[in-house]
Structure 1
Amino acid sequence: MSMLTPPGMGGKYRIKGDKYPRMRRPRNRRRIVLAAVAAVVVLGFAGWGTLQLVHVFSGDTGNKVNAARDKRDCKPVAKPSPAAAALPPKPAQITVNVYNATPRGGLAKSTADELKKRGFLIGKVGNAPAAYDKKVPGAGMLLGSTAAQAGSLRTLSTQLAGAQLKADTRATADVDLIIGTAFKALTPPKDSTAALAVLAKPVAVKPSC
């Protein structure tokens, strides 16, 4: 036994010559594993942050800015509505026959006179035919050819609110205004003029941009 060997120690702890036994502490595996996991998490967050910075300074932000600018600059475009592709005729282009289907006398003439003041051409004036006499409820009925439904009758409807529109088989361009039992008066001139102005203007439609 060497003099350097402590008393009571031998075997692998025996000191021989100039060699000394290694007495280091064993490695802690748990600490190594935790350190590796922490490194992976840090690298993950660093990569995500870098990706966000790339999006901020790349085209994503530019696209959003461009979309907002396009939306701001996009304005409604005035186009005629399908029903008003051909604007309805003006009052001076329409001949109206005025018939009274009520028991009250004089309504046909007074109504025809008022329509004439508003620019309409007047045709026949008198009592309603037997098919409509005292058989028209409401304010009245506007009667004309099928083609007149989207033209002359639309213009004439601005003069009598609540009137019903009906088509017949006539081949002429004139239209009838048949005064109904609930008739009181034509639409006030101010309102009828405003309604005519709406018919004469194209409709603003929402753009597709």
Structure 2
Amino acid sequence: MVRVVVVDDEPMVCGFLRTILGSAADVEVVGEAYDGAAGVEAVRRSGPDVVLMDLRMPGMDGLTAIEHINRLPDPPHIVVLTTFDADQYVLRALRAGATGFLVKSTPPEELIGLVRTAARGHTVLSPSAARRLVAASTDSLSARDRAREVVASLTEREIQVLAGLGEGLSNARIAARLHLSEATVKGYVSRTLDKLGCVNRTQAGLIAHDAGIVEP
């Protein structure tokens, strides 16, 4: 069972998401909140697998809530809810540790599958969306410098694995590309995330884009 907390300042949006997700036998909405602070408390209280998080809310906004949630022991996977996929606030949320994002116009039939994907720890973000967000960043120069600095600590093989993460590849596809076992790639991914100080594959993938390891 995938346990979900929904955080959005519009009760109608929360109700819609609850209805859609509740139609799946393996998904349960275990919490609902209308601002970031209440969302953090809902996560503490219910221990979900996935949080669907709006960004622009009164009081504590979604970005601050994401930072608080990622400081909790064993934090859930956080997926941002947004109206526009080129929103720079979304990029800030991804850099803060969100697993990916969903545009609020996502068709209901796709929503459940994407939540399941997030629950498995996979990125809910297409490589093309990542490139678009990074290209539109007003902080691109400083982000590039920071990314190249942290990537310098990686081995050649770790950089190859990081490139795969930037392209949104699974461990199996990275393994096939590099002629390694999937278990070996899993170890490389774990070490790469540790070296980069990333909480998930999405953060690492953005660093790959920032550093120029993945071509636009």
TM-score relative to the length of structure 2: 0.29
Bigger-Rg structure (1/2)? 1
User: Of the two structures, which has the highest relative contact order with CA contacts closer than 8 Å and spacing of 6 or more?
Assistant: 1
TM-score relative to the length of structure 1: 0.29
